[in-house]
Amino acid sequence: MFMYANKTALITGASSGIGEAFAFSLAVRNCNLILVARNETKLKELAKELSAKYNVKATVIVLDLSSPGAPQTLHLEVQKQQLKVDLLINNAGFATYGYFEQISGERQHEEVMLNVAALVDITHAFMPDLLRNRDGGLINVSSTAAFQPDPYMAVYGATKAFVLSFSEALWAENRKRGLKVLALCPGATETSFFDVVGSSEASVGSRETPQTVVKNALKAFEKGRSHMISGRQNYWVAQVSRFFSRQTTLNIVERTLRPQN
């Protein structure tokens, strides 16, 4: 078991969706919070609500994690406020959708910087905190998109494959050092994710609520799992590559994600 009470969790992308659901679920468990995102208004409203309802300390740090040097800025700000992170949840990320060459190169670069580079840099910066008392935790939000290449979401799928591989490697490195590491792999979820993507065609299968995803994630995390696919349907979708050749799998995924116009 992981004891949450009186510990501090840092959550990126905390202002909505899965990040916000994590914040509520941890506050219920009497865990103090460091909430990180770009939207200052939403973060402050969330922090105020959580503090009043659950009597936890909720610290707000407003930051665009895709910008150069942002992970280092985050770490310095946490140190400045003399906070120690016991549980790190790397949730911030976004996707792009469409033919690769038709998507802004700058936007796809930001996607890699946030989904991969920032996640690695933040994890590296806070790893000493997580290992401090041999009872720390790390949850990196990947996706079912990590289990096969994703035509029309080529960069997103590749970034999430990185997150899954990276997280499972850290799980193996640290499982005897008192650090729990989980790669959370949700499928389509009822968040603003698809508003950012700009197309519902990127959604595969029925959508879970963020609360369901987080409930499943914390169960798997507490059991010491290396990764968790939320939802039975999503689990079987992620297994397609085990039963078909890579080329057949790609053809299936391409037809599923193909733009309709």
- Catalytically active residues are 156
Q: Can you tell me the distance from the alpha carbon of 137 to that of 134, in angstroms, rounded to the nearest whole number?
A: 9
87-90 and 58-62: which strand pairing? unpaired
Entry field: residues in the chain: 261
Q: Can you tell me the distance from the alpha carbon of 177 to that of 129, in angstroms, rounded to the nearest whole number?
A: 13
36 φ, ψ (degrees, to nearest 5): -125, 130
Q: Can you tell me the distance from the alpha carbon of 36 to that of 258, in angstroms, rounded to the nearest whole number?
A: 34
DSSP 3-state of 179: strand
- Tell me the C-alpha to C-alpha distance, in Å, between residue 170 and each of 74, 117, 163, 164: 21, 16, 11, 10
Are 159 and 111 within 8 A, CB to CB?
yes
Looking at residue 63, the DSSP 8-state letter turns out to be -
Q: Which amino acid is at 84?
A: K
Task: Report which of 120, 125, 55, 45 is spatially closest to residue 84, judged by C-alpha positions.
Answer: 125
Are 145 and 205 within 8 A, CB to CB?
no
